[in-house]
Every structure is written in C-alpha cells, then in structure tokens.
Amino acid sequence: MPLSNSKYKMKTRNRFCLFVFLLAPGIFAATAAPANTPAVPRWEPHDFSFATKAQPPNPFLVEFSATVRKPDGTTFLLPGFFDGNGTWKVRVAPTAEGQWSLVTKSDVPELHGQSAVFTGVKNPNPNVHGTLRVDKANPHHFIFDDGTRFFMQGYEYDWLWALDMDQPGLPTVAQSLDILARHGFNGVILNSYAHDTGWRKGKSSPDDYGPPLLYAWQGSNDQPDHRRMNPAYWQHYDRVVAALNERGIQAHVLIKVYNKQVNWPKRRSAEEQLFFRWLVARYAAYPNVIWDFSKEAHNEKDLAYKQGMLKFLREIDPYHHLATVHDDDQANDSGAYDELTDYRADQQHGKWHEVILRQRQRRAWPVVNVEFGYEHGPKGTNDLTYRVGQPPEEVLRRAWEIQMAGGYTAYYYT
C-alpha cells in the first residue's frame, strides 16, 4: 500500500530522532527501515508521541493502544496513554535487537492507524539486564532476561516519589539512590500514591511528605476525579522510575495502600480499571518494575476482588512483569495466589528463619521478608516512628536469619 500524503512527523527525544509516519490502517511497513529510524537500546523505554487537533470530552477515556511487532514477527498489544497538551503516547521498550514496528489503534480517527519503526540495539548501560524473572531451574531464586542472577536486597522507600516535586530535576532522589546503590541495595519498595498517615497528620515536620505537593488524579483527595489523571504527578513519577532503572534498582510498586488516607476509585469500577491500565501503559516498558497489588493487602477482606484485579493486571501487561501481594498470609498459605503471583512478599516480625523455611517448603518460589525490623533513627533508641525500633545489630541479625534460610530481605528505615 502506498504511504498517505500526510507529512512525516519528526521529533527529537533525548538523543534519538523520532520518525513517525502514516500507513493505511492496520498495515505494517514491509520494506526496510528508513535510514533515520531511531535506534533504541534493548530494554530502554522510548516514547512515540501522536498529536491530534480533536478535543474529546475526556482525553483519558480515549481508546488508544498499539500493536507492536517484534523482529521475529510476533506481536503484542500495548496500551497507550494521554500525557496532556493534546498528545498521546505509546511507551515501548525493545526486548531484542533488530527491527521493530508499531501501529496505533484508537477510536479517534487522527490517532488510528499511525505507524512507527525503530531498531532495537545493544544497551550500553551495564546496570540493565532486562526484566526480572523467577529462575525456572532454581525456582526459589531470581534471574534477569539476559541470564544475570539477582540477589534481592530491598529498601522500603514508600514516599520516594514525593521528593523533589518542586524541583526541576531530582537532586534529592538522585543523591539518595546513589547512596543506596553504593551500599548494595538493588530494589526499592514504593507506593504508586499515598496521601497522609493517621499517626502524623498533615505536615508535622520537614521530613513528613504527606500530603504531597502533587495529587495523582485531578481534583483533590476529598473530591477526586478518578476519570482524569494528573499528568504532572505521573511525569514526575516517570522520572523517579527512570532514575531507579538507570542504576539497576528494581521498582517494587505498591499499587494500592489501605492505611495512607487515599480516596481510591471504587472497587471493580471502570475508574479502577482505568487506573490499573494507566500504570501498565506508563510503566510496563520499564524493565525494573515489579507489581504488588497492595501494601498490607490483608486489610482488603474481599479475596475474590484481589484475585480478579491480579488477573486483570496479568492480562493487560504485555511485558509480564513479576507480580506479588504484600503481607496477605492467610491467602498465601491457602494457595489462593499460586496461579496469580510469582513470589511471596511477607511482613514477619518473629521466628524469621523458621518462617522462611516453611514458606519455601509450601511452594517452590522466592520468598521475601520485606518488613522484619525497624532500625532506630540517628538520634538513638528513642528516635522512632512506630513506637518500636531495633539497634542496627539486631536488624542485621534478623536479616542473617532470613537469608540463611534461603529468603530475601528489604530494609525498613525509621
């Protein structure tokens, strides 16, 4: 089929030139890629932007996705997202070297049938090894796409995204992540959003980041518009996830949290599905993402609901990231998540060695105690957040028990 008469759209992003052109709807380019096709490093997210003069009543409800074709000819469906200013994006990362292409699908005619071609090339970043998987040969452990092994040492940093919201860059985020990486931490646990805490309401001190400067949805926490996301919040979140990825640090994203005063979309609603799809559209292309249904998911008593949302997440994530559920012991012990999650993320404050052995015996999967102690702050044993704290030697001893039982750990600060 001949190319349409629409002008080629050229746009520079980072050091790559974006080459976007129109084809007849649904048809991929069969010829060799043009000479100026962008070269995208393997496993590096790249945004393809598409603009329209159309003004839909709610651009966040516009159907927009892309069928992505790999070098081997297989395809997958990738959801796209509205990013403000009349621009829709498809964020894609090549998982193999070679020629890739995509064609958009939309209920807005100007956004439908647009194509892009790009070339997957070797990734020069030694910290990037692809998406984290469970090692099929050693199912209690992790491995990356390129075969690199991974010994998880996490750090719970729930409000990381709340830093530097009023800064043009990420000075505090970058400095703190460099410190973590230098000390061997290779995973960060963070909320997708949190609003405030019941034990430190409002801005109680300079190190209290709730409520944050930006809100995840339009409106307010008291009166949110769950049908409209806040692009400014998520563009900042993009930068945080990218900073983690650059350093080879996993982003263990707690999609929901039940004790941080968030006015979440109604369960099983179209607005809730919109939120889950939004997260996948923006972050599935990042190889360092791990999905977690919720922090302390035992607070949600509807097991069928949790299973349904995990299934939905599995269905819409074309990159098949690891998924887990934090601290839902009864459901995990019953096997309720065996077909829906890849590893166990637990919160255990006693019998650390014994519990890990039992959890490993029940199912051959990785087990992680993500919250096993709270090291007191720099001011000493009375420098506490949760009215409890341990000296560093005790935190280290507990971590030793967990790891010697074959489990993994995540450090929790106070």
Q: 270-308 pLDDT, tens per residue?
A: 999 999 999 999 999 999 999 999 999 999 999 999 999
What domains does the chain contain, in order, with CATH numbers? 9-121 (2.60.40.10), 132-412 (3.20.20.80)
Percent of the chain past pLDDT 90, that is, above it, reads: 84
Q: Which residues of 181-196 are buried (b: 16+ CB within 10 A; e: fewer)?
A: beeebbbbbbbbbbbb
**pLDDT tens, position by position, 207-251:** 888 999 999 999 999 999 999 999 999 999 999 999 999 999 999
CA 307/CA 336 separation, integer angstroms? 8
Which of the residues in the chain have pLDDT under 70?
1-35
Per-residue pLDDT at 36: 78
The pTM of the whole model exceeds 0.85: yes
399's enclosing H/E stretch is helix 392-404
Looking at the DSSP assignment, which residues form a beta bridge with residue 217? Answer: 229
Distance separating alpha carbons of residues 237 and 253, to the nearest angstrom: 11
